[in-house]
Amino acid sequence: MVNYVPVLIILIIAIGMAAIIIILSRFAAKNRPTREKLMPYECGVEPVGTARERQSVKFYLVAMVFLLFDIEAVFLVPWAAVFRGVVQSGPYQHLRYVFYGEMMVFMVVLFVGLVYVWRKGILEWNR
Amino acid sequence: MGQEKLLFIIFAVIAIASALNILLQRNPLYSALSLIGTLVALSALYVTVRAEFIAAVQIVVYAGAIMVLFVFVIMLLNAPGNQLQLERQKGLRYLAIPFAGLMIAEMFYVVLSIRLSTLPPVPAANAEQAVGTTWSIGTSLFTDYLLPFEVTSVLILMAVVGAMVLARREGE
Amino acid sequence: MTNLLLEWIIKTLVILLILVTAVAYVTLMERKVMAWIQMRVGPNRVGLGKFKLWGLMQPLADGLKMIFKEDIIPLQANQWLYVLAPAISLVPALMTFIVIPYGSEITLFGRTIELHVTRLNVGLLYVLALTSVGVYGIVLAGWSSNNKYSLMGGLRSSAQMISYELALGLSIVSVVLYSGSLDLVEIVDAQRGFHGLAWNIFHYPLLILVFVIFYIASLAETNRTPFDLPEADSELVAGYHTEYSSMKFVMFQMAEYLNLITASSIATTLFFGGWNGPSVGRLPFLGPVYFTIKVLALIFLAMWIRYTVPRFRYDQLMRFGWKFLLPASIVNIIISSTVILFTR
């Protein structure tokens, strides 16, 4: 647990660096705003419409499928970390085929999910 | 031991402050960001009880995947942040106070009835077999908790199918 | 305890200093590599006062110039998020470097110093977590700029990043299968021996495929060509950083190059033996030297790819990530675990 203190240290130092950079630019830079400079950029013409319009639902679907496969990956990580140890020696060695088989079942079920998403056309972006 | 208590207090305060901020913000995007802050503080709390794997997974899955989904949804739907809410039924406001009081009393009762001596001790720094480390999760997931694990895969499949059905109905 | 704290702080500061300098010079390296591939010379004039330095002071000149550029915050932009987003991009990019081992141990001033800032049991998962958090910087930058192009670029960029994060994570799982640990220090230590050439790539040849998947996924993660459509100049102006100027823009650029350096460092650690190399046991200071050489080679490879290959269209990009890379990494895991199971 004590090994995590450097994480805190670098978090604080990195946030400090970011803050210093922002403050530096706030003081060192010129600040002469004109109407054109403050408008949203739209290749030189006056902006049309607002930026807060509805976006496509495709992004939601991608995020959803990503979430589910991320959970799968998270289950795979501890399995992978102990798999070699279990196979080679240790108190669970007689269960090594079970270990392997269980995870294969898990991955097959999720592969079915991937095939479903594939066939439904979620992974095509140019509908 | 004083340092652990100090760290616990700091992260607990951050977690509670972020959680309160979720409720106090008008803009839903700020609420989502406060939720991310709460999750990060919780992850730090997990580290203080030596559950490092859970801490890392909390950030990867919860703060890194689920909250991304939330943020995408907020951006897709474009919920305006500054609308004042309509109050449909004023009477509910008066009902809320006794219920809140009831919940707080219940929480106090539960917390105060835990006797500290019956809790398992926080594992020592080098305990490989402690709960929440990679080794213990890896092995127990496939021995003691095999059924929940396989059921989880089916649950995830159900979630995929459900999400696709719900989202495609209007966009078809 | 205070001794340990001091050691950590000094190591962290040294690494941050080296990192910031490295980022600056990687930008110069990019411009020179781009130039030579395009048959021209690149920046070669910036010196220091009377000294001719053949362009080596270019990053310093660019940095100083950027500080003095005008700092515009668009009128309708969401002020808080607009300023926060580059910080959210930069901070996780800096934080990965404390778990990477740069060498074994050296003895300085009578103390044995290990050449990694800290040793986390779940080091690899920590790196994955930071990559996941880095997505927020981009999507918030796109949203808060209140510009249609930024929003579209930001959403597309983050959708691309999360799609390829899966392939990245699953290819890391393959390596973890062989190494049996999530601890980066342990993964590198397992690649010792055989005159320092027992790298994972040579020891387990299947990992070559995994390395290819990992490298392609990390090119997409860091938004480098051929996956940089969301920030391509002719497509979406500049994507999520259209409305940014001055130092906030610099923070985005720093974060991008830092992510590239991180991806190359992780690839070196996982596949190419980290700091291992010939005769590193007798001369421990060679550890960081080998590490730097390998990381630079991988960065050069990324730049080479950038100036050789045309861009993917966005739907081709997403299709490639989901329909090819993800199944390929899953198949790799199945094959690797089968091999381990049957050849104990």
Same domain, C270 and C122: yes
Identify the weakest region by mean pLDDT among B78-92, C117-131, C275-289, C302-316: B78-92
Number of domains in chain C: 2
Q: Quick check: B52 and C121 CB within 8 A?
A: yes
Q: Closest Cα to residue C261, out of C220, C302, C217, C228? A: C302
For residue A48, with 0-12 CB atoms within 10 Å meaning exposed, 13-18 middle and 19 or more buried, which class applies? exposed
Same domain, C146 and C10: no
The separation between CA C157 and the C-alpha centre of its own chain, rounded to angstroms, equals 16
Q: Specify which of A19-23, B136-140, B167-171 reaches the highest per-range mean pLDDT.
A: A19-23
Q: Quick check: B68 and C126 CB within 8 A?
A: no
Contact between B18 and B37 under an 8 Å Cβ cutoff? The reply is: yes
Backbone angles phi, psi at C48, to 5 degrees: -130, 95
- Mutation target to probe the B interface, by most B beta carbons within 10 A, among C120, C132, C162, C165 is C132
Contacts of A49 in chain C (CB under 8 A): 148
Of residues A20 and B128, the one with the higher pLDDT is A20
Predicted confidence (pLDDT) per residue in C292-311, tens digit: 999 999 999 999 998 898 88
Of residues B28 and B19, the one with the higher pLDDT is B19
Q: Specify which of B70-84, C68-82, C111-125 reaches the highest per-range mean pLDDT.
A: C111-125
Residue C82: domain span: 77-342
Number of domains in chain B: 1
Query: Which among B80, B135, B157 has CB closest to A113?
Result: B157
Residue C143, Cβ neighbours under 10 Å: how many? 25
Contacts of A10 in chain C (CB under 8 A): 12, 16, 94-95, 98, 117
The residues pairing with C106 across neighbouring beta strands, listed in sequence order, are C113
- Which tokens hold the place of B67? 């909250």
- The pLDDT > 90 percentage for chain C reads 38
Distance CA C99, CA C91 (A): 15
Distance CA C99, CA C183 (A): 9
Three-state DSSP state, A104: helix
Distance CA C61, CA A30 (A): 18
Find chains touching chain B: ≥3 CB pairs under 8 Å.
A, C
Give the CA distances from residue B92 to residues A92, B74, B162, C18, in Å, rounded to whole numbers and listed in that order: 57, 27, 34, 60
Domain coordinates in residue numbering, chain A:
2-120
Q: Is residue B96 part of a domain?
A: no
pLDDT band per the 50, 70, 90 thresholds, residue B44: very high
pLDDT of residue C88: 92
Three-state DSSP state, C107: strand
* CATH code assigned to A2-120: 1.20.58.1610
pLDDT of residue C297: 95
Same domain, C146 and C294: yes
Give the CA distances from residue C101 to residues B89, B127, C115, C119, C193, in Å, rounded to whole numbers and listed in that order: 61, 23, 6, 9, 17
Distance CA C72, CA A37 (A): 7
The separation between CA A30 and the C-alpha centre of its own chain, rounded to angstroms, equals 37
Query: Which among C122, C139, C158 has CB closest to B56?
Result: C122
Predicted confidence (pLDDT) per residue in C140-153, tens digit: 988 888 777 788 88
Same domain, C147 and C39: no
Q: Quick check: A28 and C68 CB within 8 A?
A: yes
CATH number of B48's domain: 1.20.120.1200
Q: Quick check: A76 and C178 CB within 8 A?
A: no
- The pLDDT > 90 percentage for chain A reads 24
Rounded to an integer, the average pLDDT of A97-111 is 89
Three-state DSSP state, C108: strand
Rounded to an integer, the average pLDDT of C269-285 is 85
Task: Say whether pLDDT at B101 is over 70.
Answer: yes
Rounded to an integer, the average pLDDT of C135-144 is 88
| HSE-CB of C83 using CA atoms within 13 angstroms | 14
Type of residue found at C99: V
Same domain, C64 and C160: no
pLDDT band per the 50, 70, 90 thresholds, residue B82: low
Whether A76 and chain B come into contact, CB under 8 Å, resolves to: no
Based on DSSP, count helices (H) and strands (E) in chain B, helices before strands.
7, 0
Task: Select from C17, C41, C68 the last residue of a domain.
Answer: C68
- Of all residues in chain B, the one with the smallest CA distance to C182 is B134
Contact between B85 and B26 under an 8 Å Cβ cutoff? The reply is: no
Distance CA B172, CA C8 (A): 56
Q: Quick check: A3 and C340 CB within 8 A?
A: no
Predicted confidence (pLDDT) per residue in B109-165, tens digit: 888 887 766 666 666 555 555 566 777 788 888 888 888 888 988 999 999 888 888
Residue B5: domain span: 1-81
Three-state DSSP state, C112: strand
A&C contacts, CB < 8 Å: 201
Question: What one-character-per-residue DSSP string does B34-52 give?
Answer: HHHHHHHHHHHHHHHTT-H
Q: Is residue B48 part of a domain?
A: yes
Which value does ipTM take for this structure?
A: 0.88
pTM reported for the whole predicted model: 0.90
Q: Closest Cα to residue B56, out of A2, C162, A4, A79? A: A4
Same domain, C52 and C134: no
Q: Provide CB contacts within 8 A for B154, sequence distance 6+.
A: A109
Find the helix packing angle between C326-342 and A58-88, rounded to 10°: 10
Distance CA B126, CA B135 (A): 13
- Of all residues in chain C, the one with the smallest CA distance to B135 is C181
Find chains touching chain C: ≥3 CB pairs under 8 Å.
A, B
Distance CA C7, CA B141 (A): 38
Q: Quick check: A78 and B53 CB within 8 A?
A: yes
- Which tokens hold the place of C175? 């390596």
Contact between C340 and A87 under an 8 Å Cβ cutoff? The reply is: yes
Task: Say whether pLDDT at A33 is over 60.
Answer: yes
Residue C304, Cβ neighbours under 10 Å: how many? 13
Query: Which among A25, A41, A70 has CB closest to C67?
Result: A25
pLDDT band per the 50, 70, 90 thresholds, residue A127: very low
Total residue length of chain B: 172
Task: Select from C26, C50, C68 the last residue of a domain.
Answer: C68
Q: Quick check: C128 and B57 CB within 8 A?
A: no
Predicted confidence (pLDDT) per residue in A38-88, tens digit: 766 666 666 666 666 777 788 888 898 999 899 999 999 999 988 888 888
Rg of chain B (C-alpha set): 21
| HSE-CB of C258 using CA atoms within 13 angstroms | 26
Rg of chain A (C-alpha set): 26
Q: Specify which of C67-76, C220-229, C257-266 reaches the highest per-range mean pLDDT.
A: C257-266
Contacts of B52 in chain C (CB under 8 A): 120-122
Same domain, C241 and C203: yes
Same domain, C165 and C254: yes
- The pLDDT > 70 percentage for chain B reads 81
Find chains touching chain A: ≥3 CB pairs under 8 Å.
B, C
Chain C nearest CA to B59, separation (Å): 6
Same domain, C169 and C230: yes
Distance CA C219, CA C240 (A): 18
pLDDT band per the 50, 70, 90 thresholds, residue B87: low
